[in-house]
Amino acid sequence: MSNLSLLLRLTFLACFFFTCNHSGERTSPASASRLLPSGKMSYMLPHLRSGWAVDQAILNEENKVVVIRFGHDENETCMQMDEILYKISEDVRNFAAIYLVDTTEVPDFNVMYELYDECTCMFFFRNKHIMIDLGTGNNNKINFLISDKQEMIDIIETVYRGARKGRGLVVSPKDYSTRYRY
Ligand SMILES: *[C@@H]1O[C@H](CO)[C@@H](O)[C@H](O)[C@H]1NC(C)=O
């Protein structure tokens, strides 16, 4: 066996062991609960903890839609939204980056974006706010729960396709005018 192929095999084994240990840790409920802040459900999406971090996330993303969920982390509706966003984050990762912002922790945008709802999703592309016509009369944001994963993927994909063509307003694939709003 050549030195190179021995090295490759050793590297492979090392990676294999590391991955096993790593995923073993992640699936252990005991250690998972230790990682979570007490009393707060956390879906492993990145939080932006300051106004500066929000600005940087929007400014630094050149090719993807930046989806920001503004809201209250501990609100149950918001947690359901976070769960949906978390579940689709892998599916949309080539064209969208999803972040969470707790509007109590980071109140900087509350007035500017009128973030009075418990849970609001907004879209940005190349430092521009992208509006979406959902049939609700509010094109600035999604301020109701989208509980269907595929619907959320379709919305983000529509925003991405429109924004790349230079549009500042896109039309949602589905009309939500009859949807329960809060
Ligand atoms: C969570 O948000 C929903 C939707 O705005 C609201 O109806 C509910 O009262 C909130 N729950 C709490 C505990 O504030």
Q: Are residues 162 and 96 in the same domain?
A: yes
In a domain, 44, yes or no: no
Task: Show the domain range for 85.
Answer: 51-171
Name the band, by pLDDT with cuts 50, 70 and 90, for residue 58. Answer: very high
* Number of structural domains found in the chain: 2
Q: Are residues 150 and 65 in the same domain?
A: yes
pTM of full prediction above 0.85: no
In a domain, 138, yes or no: yes
The per-residue pLDDT for range 70-119, each reduced to its tens digit, is: 999 999 999 999 999 999 999 999 999 999 999 999 999 999 999 999 99
Q: Determine the Cα–Cα distance for residues 27 and 29; give it in Å rounded to an integer.
A: 6
Q: Are residues 66 and 31 in the same domain?
A: no
Q: Are residues 97 and 63 in the same domain?
A: yes
Q: Are residues 9 and 89 in the same domain?
A: no
Cα-to-centroid distance, 136 and ligand 1 (Å): 20
CA angle, residues 91, 167, 154, in degrees to nearest 5? 25
What's the confidence (pLDDT) of residue 63? 96
In a domain, 113, yes or no: yes
Counting from 1 in the atom list of ligand 1, the atom nearest the Cα of 145 is: 4
Q: Are residues 111 and 63 in the same domain?
A: yes
What's the confidence (pLDDT) of residue 11? 55
In a domain, 60, yes or no: yes
- From 117, 118, 141, 182, the mutation candidate for ligand 1 (largest count of ligand atoms within 8 A of CB) is 118
Written as one string, the DSSP assignment of 124-170 is EETTEEEEEE-SSS--S-B-S----HHHHHHHHHHHHHHHHTT-SEE
CATH of the domain at 93: 3.40.30.10
What's the confidence (pLDDT) of residue 32? 43
Q: Determine the Cα–Cα distance for residues 135 and 87; give it in Å rounded to an integer.
A: 25
Counting from 1 in the atom list of ligand 1, the atom nearest the Cα of 76 is: 1
Q: Are residues 58 and 31 in the same domain?
A: no
Q: Are residues 93 and 132 in the same domain?
A: yes
Name the band, by pLDDT with cuts 50, 70 and 90, for residue 172. Answer: very high
DSSP annotation of 18 reads H
Q: Are residues 13 and 90 in the same domain?
A: no
Radius of gyration of the CA atoms of the chain, in A: 20
Q: Are residues 7 and 60 in the same domain?
A: no
Q: For residue 35, with 0-12 CB atoms within 10 Å meaning exposed, 13-18 middle and 19 or more buried, which class applies? A: exposed
Give the pair of three-digit tokens for residue 163: 């924004």
Q: Are residues 20 and 104 in the same domain?
A: no
Residues in the chain: 182
H-type alpha helices, 61-148:
76-88
- Is the torsion defined by CA of 84, 55, 117, 139 positive or negative? negative
The per-residue pLDDT for range 6-22, each reduced to its tens digit, is: 555 655 545 444 444 44
